[in-house]
Structure 1
Amino acid sequence: MPSIDEVLGLREIAPATFRADPVPTEMERTFGGQVAGQALSAAARTVPPEFGVHSVHGHFLRPGRPLDPTDYRVDAVRDGGSFRTRYVTAVQDGETVFTLTASFHRGDDGYTHQAAMPATAGPEEIAENGRPWAAWYDFPEWDDWERRWLPADEATPDVPSRRRLWIRHRTPLPDDPVLHACALTYCSDMALLDIAVLPHPDRPIQGASLDHAVWFLRPFRVDEWLLFDQVSPSSESGRALIQGQIFDTAGRLVAAVAQEGMVRFHTERAAAVGAGRAEGRAE
């Protein structure tokens, strides 16, 4: 399988336009984290290196076709003294499958505070366990990511669904902050949608990510252990909100994640719509 830096590597085929080759997969549609990470990689290629990425906001519009290449077109929305903004359109066969707004910041002096990391067992105290409640959902392209899930927390009215895991890339990666940001964007989509359906195991669900956002708060490395604390505060009308905070082993809050996903009941109508989406049609 390609390494994460190969997955995120893009070829410039025209000014501000980059192409990603297909990545071998067992998935029926392109993994959302892959598309988001590649879009951020494309955006970063158009920004001076002194500007570090501080946030990305993406929308999944159509299911990606994993056997086809994807072109990423980057528009320079704003070039300010402290901030740069890029808008990326991911296109397959003339159709937009994903859009991303990426913001970059030179960095300024300011106040500092953060939420405390939850008290948990450390990664060395937990055996590697993939995704213990849904092992069928692991794929070969994720084998480079070591994951150690903590036991589930008891549901409460304040936090109806919560899971935490330690995650890191198995092998060392280059000292490139952009690569680590793109890689974190990639892996942050691996398990979020599952969190929303943990309290509801009694009926089949048709699920898909609708949007995905990441805020990069402090420097980090994805080849060192990161604690991903995930909660789903709400599910309603066939949509669920999932949020996450990511800490390093020193307890620093290095990133925050939010996603809304479609989690509607799997009916004949939903199955028909799903087939239409697979053919490139939207409801």
Structure 2
Amino acid sequence: MPITEQISVEPLHDGRFVSKYTPVRFGNLRATYGGNTIGVAFNAASQTVPPGFSAYSILGHFLGPALKEQKLYCKVHDTRTTRTFATRRVEVSQEQTDGTFRTCLELIADFHVNEPSMLEFSAPPTMAWPKPRDCPDRHEYAQGMLNRGEVNEAQLAEFRKSFDEDRDYFETRICTGGMSAQNLTGIAGGLPTTQDSFTVTSRVSAEWLRAHGPFVTQAEHTAALAFIMDGALAFLALPHSHLWVDAAGPCGSLDFALRIFVPHVDMGKWNLRERIVHHSGSGRTYAEGRLFDEKGTLLASMTQQCFMRVPRGEQSGSKI
């Protein structure tokens, strides 16, 4: 199924929509994938905005886990519509086993008409990464680590369990200089990396992403952007500390701020995603993903504050 189908919605009545499909759950996630819920919510919001507007800000809070078995219901509130700006608030809920509905996400999406630029500049990627044609497919790279004896069969199986399913939606090519590439997202946390001399907050992971279409509208591109930018931020502090997710207790995203800097994002083309973690403490982490096109133009940034609990029976986490 293409990504445009997985984040698609059907109109009901009075600003209400329902997802065509139930949300996905990847690998070891204890709940469904939050990026799926964001993408559906944004898609619903975009259905109520006049033509000529594009999203520049998608902010929200996860209020509870979404269930794999139930569709997502969206109620869109028209907060503001002017000649140049539109704001929509979206409540996402799911039906529970007792027939009641529980809110799992609230989101505010802001839209803007395209206006002339007074100044134009853009921050570059953190590192000079190879182009996608010079980077290996993520799963071929993982298989190569097994062939070289860097990981064992059990570790490769864990990687495939966690990341195989997203191949239905995105093609991913690994930047092998990234932290998560060299320790297989922390699964092979004992391996040394070229970034070990960096502080944790200076370590970077990167990959090239290209979504499987077809895409018809810019709203579909933006919903796909929201879907993928959520990826791996909740536990990024772990692989950047040479740890896999099983080293921590429960972890997940609390809030997110996706800011989009250009009117049109083409998710069917290769785009570079960099990921870095800025802070960890008090049971929470703060991480950022940034997306660039092949020319190095900054397209979008998503920041998230996430919870990361100490495993049961332990007193505190590591200080690195």
Same fold (TM over 0.5): yes
Q: How does 1:99-178 map to 2 (within 5 A)?
A: 99-109=106-116, 110-117=118-125, 118-130=127-139, 132=142, 135=159, 136-150=161-175, 151-153=177-179, 154-155=195-196, 156-157=198-199, 159-169=201-211, 171-178=212-219
- 1:11–1:87 CA distance, 2 compared to 1 (3 A): same
Report the alpha carbon displacement of residue 268 of structure 1 after superposing the two structures with TM.
Answer: 6.0
Structure showing greater radius of gyration is 2
Equivalent position of 1:250 in the other structure: 295
Q: By percentage of residues, which structure has more strand? A: 1
The separation in 2 between residues aligned to 1:141 and 1:247, in whole angstroms, is 20
User: 1:237·1:264 contact (CA, 8 Å) conserved in 2?
Assistant: no
2:212 maps to 1:205:
no
Q: Deviations over 1:10-60 (max 9, x none)?
A: 111112100114437455522100000000000000100211111101211
**4+ residue segments displaced more than 4 Å:** 24-28, 130-134
User: 1:163·1:195 contact (CA, 8 Å) conserved in 2?
Assistant: no
The separation in 1 between residues aligned to 2:36 and 2:48, in whole angstroms, is 19
Report the alpha carbon displacement of residue 159 of structure 1 after superposing the two structures with TM.
Answer: 3.0
2:202 maps to 1:195:
no
Equivalent position of 1:39 in the other structure: 41
Q: Secondary structure at the match of 1:23?
A: coil
**Which one is further off, 66-75 or 104-113?**
104-113
- 1:13–1:139 CA distance, 2 compared to 1 (3 A): farther
**Which one is further off, 200-209 or 97-106?**
200-209
User: 1:161·1:195 contact (CA, 8 Å) conserved in 2?
Assistant: no
User: 2:277·2:288 contact (CA, 8 Å) conserved in 1?
Assistant: yes
The separation in 2 between residues aligned to 1:100 and 1:122, in whole angstroms, is 34
Q: Secondary structure at the match of 1:221?
A: coil
User: 2:25·2:33 contact (CA, 8 Å) conserved in 1?
Assistant: no
Q: Deviations over 1:181-201 (max 9, x none)?
A: 000100111222232112152
Name the count of aligned residue pairs. 268
Q: How does 1:209-248 map to 2 (within 5 A)?
A: 209-218=253-262, 219-248=264-293
Q: Deviations over 1:218-272 (max 9, x none)?
A: 2221111111011101111111111122101111111111111111112169xxx
- 1:175–1:10 CA distance, 2 compared to 1 (3 A): closer
CA RMSD of aligned residues (A): 2.3
- 1:115–1:103 CA distance, 2 compared to 1 (3 A): same
Gap regions ≥5 residues in structure 2: 96-100, 143-154, 180-194, 315-320
- 1:140–1:120 CA distance, 2 compared to 1 (3 A): same
The separation in 2 between residues aligned to 1:31 and 1:139, in whole angstroms, is 14
2:101 maps to 1:75:
no
Gap regions ≥5 residues in structure 1: 270-283
- Sequence identity, in percent? 25
